Every structure is written in C-alpha cells, then in structure tokens.
Structure 1
C-alpha cells in the first residue's frame, strides 16, 4: 500500500516510506519497530500522522507511576475502540495483549511514543513485550499489530536492541530520525543565500522545531539581518531557543553530573577534541574521562571520530550545533545575557563565533558535501569516508592538520585503499597558491605510506571568503585541484 506523505511533514521521504512499509505489511504475526532520535526532530509528527493515515492507535506516554500510565492507556484504548468506557488494564502483560488484539482483523499501527517514560517506571516492560512477541504464541500469531516504540533518550533506545537486551532480535524496523542535513535545513528555513544558510546552520543545525516553535518562523531577512536575528531569536531570554542547550542536557536522565558534562562539552567547543586535550582543559586525568565521554556519546551529544591516519587516535566533536554555540558564546556570558545585554555579548563574541562555531561547522559541511552530494567525477570515485586527520612529517617533526581526508571504497583483497582527496577548509580567509602547495606536500608524504593509493588524490580548497586570481588560474590548469565555495556546497556537485 502506498500512502502519500502528509504536507505537514517536510523532507523525511525515506523515513516515511520505511514506516509505511512496516505499518502496511500484510503478513500474519505481530511485529515490532523501534524509532529513535533526539528531541525536536519531528518523530512525534511522523508517527502521529502514520497512525492517522492507517487508522491506527497512538499513545503518548508521560512521566507517571505505572498505575497512572495503565489507566491513561486504558482510557485511550476505550476511545479508540468505541468501548462504552475505559478498558481496565491490571498490568502491563494485559496491556500489551490488548494492543496486540487491535490487529486481529487487519494490520494496525500501534504507536507508543516516549516509551522510555514507561520502561523506566516499569523496568520489566521490555521483557513483557519480548514474551508477548514469542514465536508461536497465539496472541502474536493471530495478530497483525505493527507495534512502534519511540523515544528521544538515545542511550536508552540504543540499548533496547543491543547485546543481551530482551528485545534483541525481535524488531523488524530500527529507524533513526536524524536532524536535517545542511541543504535540507536551508530549504526548510527558506534561506537562498548559501553563506547565510551556513551561518544559520552553524547555530541551529538541522532541528526542524527550532524554526517553527522556537523562533516562530523568524528567519534572517538577508545577510545584513543576521546579527539582529541572533540577538532577537537566540540571545533573547524571552525566546525558547535561549535556554534550549541547557535543557538538552537536563532532559537526559543518564547525565547525572551536569557540571562535569558541561565542562567536557565546553572543552570540545574550545577546540580540545582529543581525550588528553579535554582532560587538560577541565583539570582531570585522561583515564577519568572514559565514563563521561561514553555517556555523552550514547546520549547523541558527542561524536567520536577515529583519525584515519593515526591508528588508535580519535577526536571528539559536538553533535548539536546549538550546544557548540551555547558553550562557546552564551555560557561564558550567561549573566549578561540574562540581563538582556545580548547586543554587547554578540559584539564581543563575533570572533569566537567565527573561530569556535562557524569555522568547525563549515568544515563539517564540506565533509558532508563530499560524502553525500559530490559526484564521483569530482573526486574520481565515490567517497566512502570523509573526516579530519593529522599527518605527521617525520623530516621536520611537525604535524599537518588536514580538514578533509576522503577515502574511496575499500578494495577487495589486500590492495591499497584509494585516497580520493585531501583538503583545507577556511571560512573567513582567502585561499591561494601557498595552501595548494601545502596540500601537495601533504600528498607527497602520504604517497610514502604503505596501504594508500594516492596517485589520483585531489587537492581540495574550500573557502567562504574566496580564492586568489592566481589560485583560480592554477586550478583551471590542474585537474587535481578542486575549489569549493558556499554556492557549490549548497547547489553544485
């Protein structure tokens, strides 16, 4: 069955198609799906519209005792089935069987939103669902309920199907709902100027709710309005976006030491991406950071990226742009911002915004462009991995930071892996011939490394400030030189 995506849902074509496929499966037997993603990404809208389109059942859980949750679920089931009154649910075993009974005659979508609220107050609930979905059990085999469990607590949702968890092996759908990519975000915000889109994305990222509910569709009216927009929409204590970064940490129950986690995130926002750098910034031993780093990773707030050129080395970056902005710009001046001195704070913070927020965000946009939007002709192959890296130069005992290292698909057998490109990315600096020569030297160093095929590696230079005439002339003569500006990132390949 094909169900048209409701007009209220922007983008999300892949997610909608997967949900429709799962919900309309005609095969006998109840099935389970798990939907996860950080808050404000539109999961609830997706699932509510799916339940409505399929004449299914939607239940949004709240923080409550098990008795209250069962009572609310019974009331919702009574209304859905047109019963003369609420269904009396004695326990969760009976409740799950009542949900399976909804699908006795046809496939029925059953959505339990904010499932972690229920599971935290009734810790045996995942095991009860596992038992209810036991192969051969009559309540399962005679049902075609398509049960979808949804939650925003990523650490909890990630553990539902992991390792020895009760529901491992039971789910037929495991669907993450990520933030919009930078191109989709620009379209969603209605921003056509590429440089302006990048500046806005560096603050709010691809979270849909930040445009609608959090700034009430207040969009910068061109590049000249950007500074005023930051002051009225982000640094304004009367707007919900002002405290959102704090709430993102407070909402996750696994983040039990907020001071420590804020310090770790602040260290990363200041450019300390290695474990040693983070430890030095917050005054802890590197060995003491295993737990907080793991918790922040599981919560979807930190991303650990292995360095492809240095075995065993990794760097961390913050997953949510708004948190980076908060840590770099807002947190150091929180009292002044609460006193409505946002204009002074923003004037003093422009340089920090450019270096700690916009620069790293622009680098990540370039890496995402290489992975998702650049054609194979641009790099001489399909980019399978793109990240930052540090290259050691043994002759000078120095290190070269590469903003982009793009690899092709791993070869079959034991052949060398193709290196498709290395690159330098700068937001506010005009790039010229010296930067191209620097990349050429780096490529020469990589050519001496075993296991890499650098013969066709491109030298990529990306800048929002432009390129010198000399560099543009050189790039026209050299097929291995790739110049990328914001216009190409947002509309070209």
Structure 2
C-alpha cells in the first residue's frame, strides 16, 4: 500500500534536514502510530544509517550497530570486530565517509529507549559527544521511541543530560480522519465514518482492514477471529507497556461502558479513587485515555480538574472493550457470526455516534485553519453544564463568540426540532454571539434546508459528504 498522510510531519523533518547546522531531532509517539514507517519514507533518497534497536543486552546492541557502521564505511572496520562502547561507536559517526555531493547524512535510532535500558549512561555519552563533536558534523540524528513518558521525562526533561540539546521535537499523533479514510478510497462516506469509528487514526490498525471487503466482513475477519492480529492487539500492547493488566482492563472497560468521572470509574472498577487515578495517569501517557474539559473552562478550572471527564481517545480500544472483551468466551469457540449478529451489527451506528462527534470537531478545526469560519477558533471541543451538553463548540480568542453544533449519525433527516433544542442549550452557555452548525448522516428536512438558505440565517448544514470534501 502507498504511504498515506503525514505531509506536515514530513515537511517539518525535511526543514530540519535542510538546515545549515547539525540536527538532533526527537520523534516519539504511541505504539502503532507510524513513526518507523514515516522515518523510513523520510529517509528515501538520503544517505541513511537506520538502526532499529531491540530489547537486548548492551553487547548485542553494540554488535548490531557495529555491523551497520562498518557496512557504511566507518574507519573502525579496519581494526575492530565491534565497538567496545557506545562512546567509541557514536564518535565514529562524524568520521563516516562524506555522502556524494556533500549531502547530509541521516542517522536514525529507532526505539532508542531500548538502548538506554541496557546502558543508562548512553544519554550522557550522547550529550558529551554532541557538545564536542557531533554538533559540528554534517549529520541529522533522529532519536525515535514509543515510550512517551520516558522520552519526555528521561530524555527531554530538565534532569536529563540531553536537556536543551534537541534541535527539533516531533510528537507524532494519530492520523486525522481525512487521511485515515484514504485507506478505504471506495467506501461510501457512511462506511468511512464507521471504519474510522472503529480504527481511529492508527495506521497499523487501518492497514489490517481490506478496502475491498465490506465493513461487516472486515469486522468478522480482522477483529473477531482469534487468528487476526487485531483480536489480540489490545492485550499485547497492555502487556508490553504495563503491569497489573487485569486492573487496567477494569478501568478501560468502565470508560468504554460510559463511566467518565473518577468516582464513576472507581465504582465500576471496584477500586479506590487514588488507585484509579494513578492508572488513568499511565493510560493518558500511553495515549489511550484523555481528560476532557468543557471548551469554555478556564485554566484554574482545568488545574483543579473538578469538571474533567475521562474518555477513551483510542477508537480501537473503545471498540475492542465494547465488542471483543465481553464476548471472549463465544469468540474463543468460533462463534464470530453469532457475536456480530447479536452484539455488534445492531448497535454499530450507535457506537459510531461519539467518534462521529469527534470527527465533526476535527472538521471545525480544519475549517478554522482554512479561514472558512466566521472567526479563527481559539479552541474547539465539547461543552457541558449541569443538565445540558453540546457536541461541538468552537470559541474565538475573546471567548465572546462561539459556533455551536449538534451531530446526528443516523439515517433519518435532521429537522427543525434538533436546531431548536441546540438553540435552547446554547442560551445557557453564557455566550451571546452564536452561530450554529448541524452535522447529519441522513441529510436534512426541506423546511430546515429552506431556513439555512436564508441570507439572514445563522445556521450551517453539513452533510456527511461535505466532511470528506
């Protein structure tokens, strides 16, 4: 499959590569987000030393790196079988043969945390060599890793020897929906939303689906069957990253079932608030859970966290805990069709409702950046009060104007009653300058279309097709 998306990430990496000075760039993000594939794509046409670290001993890693260096023409190959230390190995980076035409050499250390795990002195070694040798070489060094908290705290934090040395820091995020759905070019807009609602923007998950098969066939074949990689993906990732996976299962399952506050999650998981809070912090570091605040919440409110709600930020985790985890006994016995027909198919559109709202919020961000809204949004998110909730809300820099939206992922046309309800809720937000946007899978009734077509209308109607324009 052709490489999809990441234009902005690649452009920023290219800018670093074209800079006059040597570069030390950190690229990190959660597992499966596509870091290695992006760096491989970026390295095409460049003189590249690409070292994929393994979870191995220091000696094994040095042996592998030595072979790579010697193949690239490092002087040490004339008198060494392998480098005795990382200091001697990294010092030779500046002595590699000059690429043709004086081009810059790219050096990528993929999964760098594995190297530090086997040799904790490595950041200090790299810092010393960077300060005295490597920063003057014609190199771009990329440090890549999936252990996000480790990179942020141990490599980029104030206590790290490498603090302040980075010339670029790129945190890779899941693909936006408009790139994610490019994996399914022939799907209808409705099925594109369904696929995104299940898989999110994680390239590794999107690649598993066959774009020539139906949504139903893909779910059965690539998620519900025991042999499929996605069937065991969640458990594999949790075991790779965390201990006490049974307790994490309880916390994630509670959120997937609709528990959003700390108290609700603790009650569902049958744990204390303090215990659940520590688990949630770890899950947020992994990019699986996020804490959400009303879009109008002030910094003080966010600091206290009283109104914050926890959501699964990973669509696939939400799907897996909704439809695989609860029915493992049936699936283990091969009842794939039965699980789909009883538990998945009938509620798939309902399940997609929340991801559809998130997709609509991404669309508002994109419209704002493109200058197609009444104002440039300072923030886009959700709003909720004691009894009201608004699916989409964008506020301007002053907080005095807002765009408020309602999302309906259903096959019936949206009518005036939905707009009236949105107006009623909006009146309790405390914002006076308001415009409205309605998102709908099933289109809109003619009276509502007539209202929106008026020159004085404060309503914009967005059908599902427009989301993918």
| TM-score, normalisation: structure 2 | 0.89
Report the alpha carbon displacement of residue 103 of structure 1 after superposing the two structures with TM: 7.7
Picking from 64, 72, 97, the partner of 2:64 is 72
CA contact (8 A) 1:38 1:153 kept: yes
Answering whether residue 34 of structure 2 is matched by residue 37 of structure 1, we say: no
Q: In 1, Cα distance between the equivalents of 2:26 and 2:278?
A: 26
Residue deviations 1:34-58 (CA, integer Å, cap 9, x gap): 1112233332233234445221211
The answer on whether the counterparts of 2:406 and 2:439 sit within 8 Å (CA) in structure 1 is yes
Q: State the distance in 2 between where 1:42 and 1:375 align.
A: 25
Matches within 5 A, 1:96-135: 96-102=90-96, 107-134=104-131
CA separation of 1:277 and 1:470: change in aligned 2, threshold 3 A:
farther
Asked if 1:267 is matched to 2:254, the reply is: yes
Partner SS state of residue 133, structure 1: helix
Paired residue total = 453
Question: Which stretch of structure 1 is more off in the superposition, 477-486 or 321-330?
Answer: 477-486
C-alpha offsets along residues 129-171 of structure 1, whole Å, 9 cap, x if unaligned? 122222xx2x235422211111122222232213322222110
SS at the partner of 1:277? Answer: helix
Gapped regions of structure 2 (runs ≥ 5): none
**CA offset at residue 378 of structure 1?**
5.4
What secondary structure is seen at the aligned counterpart in 2 of 1:34?
A: strand
Q: 1:141 to 1:388 in 2, by over 3 A?
A: closer
Counterpart for residue 195 of structure 2: 200
2:464 is the alignment partner of 1:482: no
Alignment map for 1:343-422 (pairs within 5 Å): 343-349=337-343, 350-355=345-350, 357-373=351-367, 379-392=373-386, 399-408=387-396, 410-411=397-398, 417-422=399-404
Is the CA contact (8 Å cut-off) linking 2:407 and 2:439 kept in structure 1?
Answer: yes
SS in 1 for 2:404: strand
Q: Does 1:437 align with 2:420?
A: yes
Q: 1:87: how far off?
A: 5.1
Which of 243, 247, 251 matches 1:256? Answer: 243
Mapped to 1, the partners of 2:244 and 2:172 lie a distance apart of: 27
Q: Please say if residues 4 and 179 of structure 2, whose CA atoms lie closer than 8 Å, have aligned partners that are also in contact.
A: no
Moved more, 41-50 or 323-332: 41-50
CA distance in 2, matches of 1:421, 1:67: 58
Conserved 8 A contact 2:403-2:436? yes
8 Å contact kept, 2:262–2:273: yes
Choose from 134, 139, 160 the match for 1:140. 134
SS at match of 1:403: strand
Which of 449, 453, 465 is 2:442 aligned to? 465
Residues 443 and 463 in structure 2, CA contact (< 8 A), matched pair in contact too: yes
Distance 1:430 1:265 in 2: 34
CA distance in 1, matches of 2:182, 2:82: 48
Q: Are the aligned partners of 2:27 and 2:169 in contact in 1 as well (CA < 8 Å)?
A: yes
Aligned to 1:188: 183
Structure 1, unaligned stretches of length 5 or more?
A: 1-6, 393-398, 412-416
2:289 matches 1:302: yes
TM-score, normalisation: structure 1: 0.85
RMSD: 2.4
Question: How do 1:206-225 and structure 2 match up within 5 A?
Answer: 206-212=201-207, 214-215=208-209, 218-221=210-213, 225=214
How far is 1:390 from its partner?
A: 1.0
CA deviation after TM superposition for structure 1 residue 238, in Å: 2.2
Cα distance in 1 between the residues matched to 2:276 and 2:135: 48
Q: For residues 121 and 304 of structure 1, do their structure 2 counterparts lie closer, same or farther at Cα, with a shift above 3 Å needed?
A: same
